[in-house]
Amino acid sequence: MEQAKKQAYAGKRDFLGFSRLDAAKVIELFDYSLHIKQKRREKAFHPLKGRTVAMIFSKPSLRTRVSFELGIHELGGYAINLEGKSIGVGSRESVEDIARLLSRYNDAIVARLHEHSIIEGFARHSSIPVINALTDLSHPCQVLADAFTLYERGMWHEGIKVVFVGDGNNVANSWIELAGILPFHFVLACPEGYTPDVGMLEAARAAGISRIEVTHDPEAAARDADVLYTDVWTSMGQEEEFEERLKIFAPFQVNSRLLSLAKPSAVVMHCMPAHRGQEITAEVMDGPQSVIIDEAENRLHVQKALLVKLLNHEEYRKFHLTHRLLNAARNIKA
């Protein structure tokens, strides 16, 4: 069994972030996500039949757990949920031993963790694909779903202005990382001292693909924005900073005034969970320009596409070959 797995995943692909992708591969993944979304009603579509995925959760989860577990089930696979504390990641057992053991049992590992170094350890020591479902450094599955939501709505283009208002946290880091491979205009408006990861920011800017700005003026940032994006002011593990953060981040609330500075066609996004009255007002979150529930739903479709790409690449390639041939035929007819 181990030898068969080694052969199957000899060139295994992990998804820890966007660094191993390029713009064409991201768009291919978006096209396949649209395909997956359209095929959801087809009960016979089971490209992960017989596959099992170990899911490790060291942080609380709603959207991540439900979207991955349901997605694996809909694709014909089976998800095993493991609580990080109960298996003792890095304490009761080493990351190396857990990765090797789960590789014998399963076909992939999905992990939602604190330290990013742990997900890197899982990827290094496992013989099966590893997916980053969130770490303190990054949240690439979320941003993949966010960008896909804009793509699906026909909004994605090189000049799109995405403005992230709030903390330079793991979600902001992943937006910055995406800007290092896919061209668009990204602006982070954050308080001083709450800037994003320096290494990720420098790497994205060095790529020279996107215009990336960091400012401390939310109103200036919001002008002519196509997207206003926000996240909680106090993330998991920062609860002791709650009162202080409320004061510091108060000028960075996404409200009707800030939204009025954006383009009339602008949309509002939030990765959730959301705290109405803090980082976003209820009237904006529930208003006509909000696509927050759409992006939450799209976690399911994008992650399903990602799972097929990593675990059944032949199925994934088959779609893209057909897709290219259809596009070529349309161009010839035109």
Q: Which residues are catalytic?
A: 112, 139, 142, 231, 271, 299
Question: Among 104, 174, 114, 153, which Cα is nearest to 265's?
Answer: 153
Peptide bond into 273 cis (omega under 30): yes
**Beta carbons of 230 and 254 less than 8 angstroms apart:** yes
- Which one-letter DSSP state was computed for residue 143? H
Instruction: Round to whole Å and give the CA distance between 58 and 118.
Output: 11
> DSSP for 203-219?
HHHHHTSSEEEEES-HH
- Which one-letter DSSP state was computed for residue 16? S
Contacts of 136 (CB under 8 A, 6+ apart): 113, 114, 115, 116, 170, 237
**Beta carbons of 133 and 15 less than 8 angstroms apart:** no
Instruction: Round to whole Å and give the CA distance between 17 and 50.
Output: 27
Q: Where are the beta strands (DSSP E) in 247-307?
A: 267-270
Contacts of 268 (CB under 8 A, 6+ apart): 227, 228, 229, 230, 254, 259, 280, 284, 285, 287, 289, 290, 291, 292
The tokens for 54 are 């170990």
